[in-house]
Amino acid sequence: MTAREVVIPDIGDAENVEVIELCVGPGDSVEVDGALIVIESDKASMEVPSPFAGTVAEIRVELGDVVDSGHVVAVLEVTREASGERTREEAVPQPSAPAEAAPSQPTPSVAPQPPPPPVQLDGAADGAGVYAGPAVRRLARELGVALSDVRGSGPRGRILKDDVKGFVKSAMAGGATPASAALPAIPAIDFSKFGPVEEVPLTRIRNRGARNLHRNWLNVVHVTQHDEADVTDLDGFRRSLGDQAKARGVKLTLLPFIVKACAENLGAFPRFCASLNPAVDGLILKHYRHIGFAVDTDDGLIVPVLRDVDSKGVWALAAEIAELSELARNGRLAPDHLSGGCFTVSSLGRQGGTGFTPIVNAPEVAILGVGRLDTKPRWNGAAFEPRAMLPLSLSYDHRALNGVEGGNFVVALTRLLGDIRRLVL
């Protein structure tokens, strides 16, 4: 085999163009006219095609290099030439590498045959208006992908092979979206360049959860309203029930009280117990109070639903929360346990934190995040006194609810939790 240099062909009056993509690397096979690199001038991007078929021995440019006509791009071990009939004996050595960079056994190279012209990428025949090179177009054709549906992650939105592959992967996972709706792709990075890594698969639940969260994040117009409820009396009351809880075999945490207060509050604010209709021009008000609560399991986050919370007492809710959490952690929840929620409570109280922004569990329109209770000094009009303060974070869909409604809901909820006697009024 003969080693031959490939140079950048005549690119007209475009000078000092930038190398923006390396399409091949050492050891790769290339066909005649296969793309070697992509260069970009002020006006256009062009692929530099290979005039030979063979194997890439060396790439002589790097991303970001500024190059011109005649610059050596690569050295190929040639098996076949574009114009077909020339033999390796006809090759004319052309020492174009700088002396100090030359290998001890100089590579016999040849004056390049008039190299094929660069292939302009912008506005090519199929998928006109799509910014992609022939190799990418060929790959898209082979995979049956319409390039107009693919979001390019290259410079100025150019579609790369990885974008096409990513689109196919996403389509197979059920998540592909047309470019008009898709976000710019996050570049795939080989992190092992920076240090040791390992890839672990997401569990089925985490995987499904990730898709749902992404869907909700993209569809819902999120606003999060933060507040603190003074739960000094409520927490004292809860603790005072410790012996009764033990006798009943129930763990009485703040959560059943919070869920109960939410059900009460949903009665006063029915637009929070609702879903937008599919056309997003109407609100479906639900006259039932089924409330989901987030459970952290080894396999991922699960949200079982407590039914008719408004008609249940705190003991019953505490027992049901324990039972559903246990079923969730053992992977034994039935579909009925997971459907029909109107509103969700996500408590990170045990874990800690003063506030977070929970993602609305669409098609619900609101979710309450609960942080860790903390004793804080509070001004009572005459002096500071220690009070047990519970951080609350209400995220809601701004398409369904406005800020005043969000604020009013949280304030009313803090009042209910501040004086739970109100729950029986």
Interacting residue ranges for ligand CAO, rule: CB under 6 A: 253-255, 293-296, 301, 321, 325, 346-350, 358, 370, 372-373, 390
In angstroms, rounded to a whole number, what is the distance separating the alpha carbons of residues 44 and 14? 9
* CB 13, min distance to ligand CAO, A: 58
Q: Which of 71, 222, 226, 398 is catalytic?
A: 398
**Residue 17 and residue 66 in contact, taking contact as beta carbons nearer than 8 Å:** yes
HEC string for 133-199: CHHHHHHHHHHCCCHHHCCCCCHHHCECHHHHHHHHHHHHCCCCCCCCCCCCCCCCCCHHHCCCCCC
Q: Is the dihedral of CA 171, 173, 175, 179 positive or negative?
A: negative
| Cα 60 from chain centroid (whole Å) | 36
Q: Which two three-digit tokens encode residue 380?
A: 């009572």
Q: Which is nearer to ligand CAO, 163 or 320 (CB)?
A: 320
* CB 347, min distance to ligand CAO, A: 5
Closest CA to 8 of 72, 85, 80: 72
* CB 80, min distance to ligand CAO, A: 59
Q: Is 398 a catalytic residue?
A: yes
* CB 252, min distance to ligand CAO, A: 8
Residue closest to ligand CAO when measured from CB atoms: 349
* CB 415, min distance to ligand CAO, A: 18
Phi then psi dihedrals of residue 53, to 5 deg: -100, 145
HEC string for 368-385: EEECCCEEEEEECCCCEE
* CB 388, min distance to ligand CAO, A: 9
Closest CA to 365 of 402, 400, 341: 400
Give the position of tokens 């002396």. 99
Question: What is the DSSP-derived secondary structure letter of residue 121?
Answer: -
In angstroms, rounded to a whole number, what is the distance separating the alpha carbons of residues 354 and 107? 67
DSSP secondary structure string for all residues of 25-42: -TT-EE-TT-EEEEEE-S
SS3 of residue 124 by DSSP: coil
In angstroms, rounded to a whole number, what is the distance separating the alpha carbons of residues 119 and 33? 9
SS3 of residue 272 by DSSP: helix
Q: Which is nearer to ligand CAO, 43 or 248 (CB)?
A: 248
Q: Which is nearer to ligand CAO, 83 or 351 (CB)?
A: 351
Closest CA to 359 of 263, 173, 218: 218
Strand partners, 397: 222
Q: Which is nearer to ligand CAO, 168 or 301 (CB)?
A: 301
* CB 257, min distance to ligand CAO, A: 10
Q: Which is nearer to ligand CAO, 40 or 235 (CB)?
A: 235
Q: Which is nearer to ligand CAO, 109 or 346 (CB)?
A: 346
In angstroms, rounded to a whole number, what is the distance separating the alpha carbons of residues 313 and 320? 11
Q: Which two three-digit tokens encode residue 257?
A: 């009280």
In angstroms, rounded to a whole number, what is the distance separating the alpha carbons of residues 38 and 60? 13
Q: Which is nearer to ligand CAO, 50 or 325 (CB)?
A: 325
* CB 75, min distance to ligand CAO, A: 54
Q: Which is nearer to ligand CAO, 52 or 293 (CB)?
A: 293
Catalytic residues: 398
